[in-house]
Amino acid sequence: MKTIQNANTELLHHLFDWKRKNGQLIRFSIERGEEKWVLSFFSVNHTEQDKHVFATFEGKNHDELNKWVLDVLVSYQSSLH
């Protein structure tokens, strides 16, 4: 699992595109792990409740991960226009 500092956001944007083009919704969760906090990106289908985790990252705390994920999502949304 990579830290957010080592994340490849360009690759993450490509994954977002791929998931969206396949009609899937992109979600994320932030949970406390044993030693660090973990951010997981997952996709869900409109017709199914099963989720597919496609990327995970670790960080120091919830606030750090929350700020980073919001920055990534805003950057991705901006790239669509």
Confidence (pTM): 0.87
Q: What is the pLDDT of residue 80?
A: 86
Instruction: Using the predicted structure, report yes or no on whether residue 73 has a pLDDT greater than 90.
Output: yes
Give me Rg for the CA atoms of the chain: 13
Q: Each residue of 19-66: pLDDT tens digit?
A: 999 989 999 999 998 889 999 999 998 777 788 999 999 999 999 999
- Do 65 and 59 meet the contact criterion of CB atoms below 8 Å apart? yes
Please state the domain extents for the chain. 2-79
Task: Give the list of residues 6+ apart from residue 49 with CB closer than 8 angstroms, or none.
Answer: none
Count of all residues that appear for the chain in the document: 81
Q: What is the pLDDT of residue 70?
A: 96
Q: What is the pLDDT of residue 1?
A: 82
Q: What is the pLDDT of residue 65?
A: 97
